[in-house]
Structures are given as structure tokens and as C-alpha cells.
Amino acid sequence: MHKPVYIVNDHILSVMGTSTDSNWNSVLKEESGIALIDPLFPSDQAIYGSQLKAYPVVNKKATKLENMFLYSIQETLRQTSIKSSNDRLMLFVSTTKGNIDGLGNKKQQPSDRVELHAMTHFIQQELGLVHTPMIVSNACISGVLAIQTAALYIKHGLIDHAIVAGGDLFSKFTLSGFYAFKALSAGICKPFDKSRDGINLGEAIGTVLLTSDPAAAKALYAVEVKGYGSSNDANHISGPSRDGSGLALAVRKAVRHIRTEDIGFINAHGTATLYNDNMESLAFQQLGLGNVPLNSLKAYYGHTLGAAGVLEVIISIRSLLNNTIVKSLGYEEAGTEGTVNVARTFIKKEIHTVLKTASGFGGCNSALILRKA
């Protein structure tokens, strides 16, 4: 018998705040964490992004990213009855580049936890976790895919509880890559808008606690992971299929056990690049979801890579719990081939179910259905 899976607690550490509540309040005020950033290399355009200037230091021997992970995970567990030493608990880490800043740091040799397994081993030892963490590093869908993977582990009885923590840094390595693609916005990004011109990068940590037994975990809330799906259309090394077919396949898998008309809103990937937003619009139109209220959070946080899927799930859960669909910041005029109902304002309405999607390099796509228990 398969077990149901619930998200029961969370934490966000970002430029918007050091707790989920502070982040949610900043979003409600339409505050963007994106600002003009000191250039990390010679550039012929201004660079905008969200970057933490200060962060909690849990261990002086830890890197910036490790301290961010440790703080967020500890804050997530602190409010529940689940202890890090629980032998039915497992950590799933979502990241695309980990301690990538160590490659350019002469004080930190490449052997000192630049490799993802070394970083997660350090985190495991610091937290006293029994089991070796699982690393999910699959481009921009890493966070959503990590939640799906953790849910499957619980569903099949391999574990009872899971921590999913996603995080990445605002680094010269990543920034220069998107700069080379000419994919960076000249200002604060505008997801799905006609004048969108690219992404902003950001750094953050998002952490959620999943369990099969909310009561045992002393849950602060219970949102069921009702459905999930992933796909890879193998279209191109740097993007999904432009017709949205790969994303549509992932969503069809996620919605198998629900009625699509029950979806209260969609939290899209919404990077504000020309091709991503257009592809998503076509996928949602194919699925008959073109009129469902939709938003993107990228103009609030930037694209936080391995953190994005987890962070955006957390804000979407806050939307469910508060019956509030968040305004898609930066959107003014329709600019996609497919029909999408982008939220121009905050919408107060009774909502029980959200569809969360993510798409990334290599043609990977992932989708989650979350429902209030």
C-alpha cells in the first residue's frame, strides 16, 4: 500500500528575508529582491540580480553556500518533532553548481568540497544525518524533481520523512554562461510580457519537510503532494522543445489523478526569456489550461537555479494557505503565442490545488500538483 505524502514545514533564506514569513510579506508588498549588481567581469551591459550580501554563519569552516544550507535546514526542523538523527529521515539536495565559487578562490582548493558529493557529505556530518544525502542536479528543474524524488521514496516506504533543500550562488561562472548566451535582462525581468528580454540570476535557499504522517511530525500545515511528472524531450543542449510538447507530457503525468478544472492557479517556470515563456504558453494552451490564473516569481527573486523549484513551491504553498494568488511582477502586455492568464494583480479566492512547473537545459521538464489536505 502506497503512503500519501505531505509537505508540512518550510524555510526560505533569500535577499527578501531570513524566514518564509518575511519572504511572503515582501512578496505581498510587491517588493523585488533584484537590484543592480557590481559586475563580476567586464560587461557591456548592466547586470541585475539578487545577491545575499550577508548570511547566517552556522560554522566558520563552512562555505557561504554550506552555511546557507545548514541554517535553512536547521530552521525547518526546529519547528517540528523530527530530529536530524532520525533513521527514517533522508536529505535530498537540489543544486546546479554547489560550491562553484571555490574554483576561483585561491584560499579554497578545488578538492575542498567543490564536488557536490563532498559538499553534501559535509552537510550530513554537520547535521548528524544517518543516511547519505541524495543529490538532484538536473538544471533548472532540480528543485521540483528533488521534491518528486523524495515523495517517491516516502510513497514506497523507503523512508518516512525527507528534507528537500535547494540552493545555488550568484557566481561569476553561472553569470558568464548566461551572459554568453545573451540571455540576461537589461533590467528587472518581465516574465510572459511582450517586452521581456531575458533573465536575472539570484541566490537563495529553499527547504521543505515532507512526511507520510503530519501528526507525528507536529506539522505546521499539511499540503499533499498529489501528483508529479517529469520528461526529457532531448530537444537541445540549452532548452526544451519550443512547441511545449515536453512540458505538456510532464504535466499530463502530474494531473493523472485529479480533474484539471480543480487547478486553482499555475506557478510557471517563467524565466522571461523569449523561448521559455513562449514554450510554456503553448504547453498550457495544449492542455486546456490557458484560462487558469498563472504567475511567475522570477521578477521577485531572479532565477535561483537549484533553489528555484523549492522556493517557488514554498511561496505557492503560502498562496494556498492564504487563498491568495500572487501578482506576476513585471507583466503588462501579452507577449506569447499561446494563451495564458497571467495574474496582473493579487487575486483573493478560495484555492485548493496548484500546478507547479519547471523546465531547463537539455530539454528537461517537471511538474507537481499540490493540494491542501
Q: Rounded to whole angstroms, how far apart are CA atoms 150 and 90?
A: 8
Instruction: Decide which of 185, 211, 237 is a domain's last residue.
Output: 211
Structural domain includes residue 28: yes
Number of domains in the chain: 2
Residues 249, 313: one domain?
yes
CB 156 within 8 A of CB 2: yes
Instruction: Decide which of 168, 185, 211 is a domain's last residue.
Output: 211
Least confident of 44-53, 67-76, 157-166: 44-53
Residues 41, 75: one domain?
yes
Structural domain includes residue 245: yes
Helix (H) or strand (E) holding 245: helix 245-254
Q: Rounded to whole angstroms, how far apart are CA atoms 65 and 113?
A: 11
Q: Calculate mean pLDDT across residues 138-147.
A: 97
Residue 143, CA distances (Å) to 40, 159, 197, 233, 365 in order: 26, 19, 24, 19, 11
Give 7's strand partners: 210, 223
Q: What is the pLDDT of residues 100-116, one digit of tens each?
A: 988 877 666 656 799 99
Residue 350 sits in a domain of what CATH number?
Answer: 3.40.47.10
Q: Rounded to whole angstroms, how far apart are CA atoms 91 and 312?
A: 19
pLDDT score of 269: 98
Structural domain includes residue 143: yes
Residue 329: band (very low, low, confident or very high) from pLDDT cuts 50, 70, 90:
very high
Percent of the chain with pLDDT over 90: 91
Q: Rounded to whole angstroms, how far apart are CA atoms 7 and 208?
A: 7
pLDDT score of 106: 67
Cα torsion 8, 11, 16, 17: sign: positive
CB 149 within 8 A of CB 72: no
Give the domain extent around 55.
6-211
Residue 40: band (very low, low, confident or very high) from pLDDT cuts 50, 70, 90:
confident
227 DSSP 8-state letter: E
Q: What is the pLDDT of residues 58-95, one digit of tens each?
A: 999 999 999 999 999 999 999 999 999 999 999 999 99
Residues 206, 230: one domain?
no
pLDDT score of 54: 94
Give 205's strand partners: 13, 167
Residue 14 in grid coordinates: 533569500
Structural domain includes residue 216: no
Residues 91, 174: one domain?
yes
Q: Rounded to whole angstroms, how far apart are CA atoms 162 and 199?
A: 31
Residues 269, 149: one domain?
no
Structural domain includes residue 1: no
Q: What is the pLDDT of residues 281-303, one digit of tens each?
A: 999 999 999 999 999 999 999 99
Q: Calculate mean pLDDT across residues 355-365.
A: 96
Residues 247, 207: one domain?
no
Task: Dump strand ranges (E) for the chain.
Answer: 6-13, 35-36, 48-50, 89-94, 134-136, 161-168, 201-202, 204-211, 223-232, 265-267, 293-295, 324-325, 341-342, 347-348, 353-360, 364-372
Residues 193, 231: one domain?
no
CB 133 within 8 A of CB 86: no
Q: Rounded to whole angstroms, how far apart are CA atoms 304 and 296?
A: 13
Residue 239: band (very low, low, confident or very high) from pLDDT cuts 50, 70, 90:
confident
Structural domain includes residue 220: no
Residue 172, CA distances (Å) to 37, 41, 55 in order: 12, 7, 19
Q: Which residue has the cell 545555488?
A: 168
Residues 47, 96: one domain?
yes
Residue 122, CA distances (Å) to 44, 69, 133, 186 in order: 39, 11, 10, 38
Residues 155, 266: one domain?
no
CB atoms within 10 A of CB 153: 18
Instruction: Decide which of 183, 211, 239 is a domain's last residue.
Output: 211
Residues 241, 152: one domain?
no
Residue 340, CA distances (Å) to 269, 297, 320, 337, 343 in order: 13, 16, 20, 9, 9
**SS3 category, 241:** coil
Closest CA to 70 of 21, 151, 133: 133
Residues 169, 287: one domain?
no
**SS3 category, 224:** strand
Structural domain includes residue 70: yes
Structural domain includes residue 247: yes
Residues 265, 345: one domain?
yes
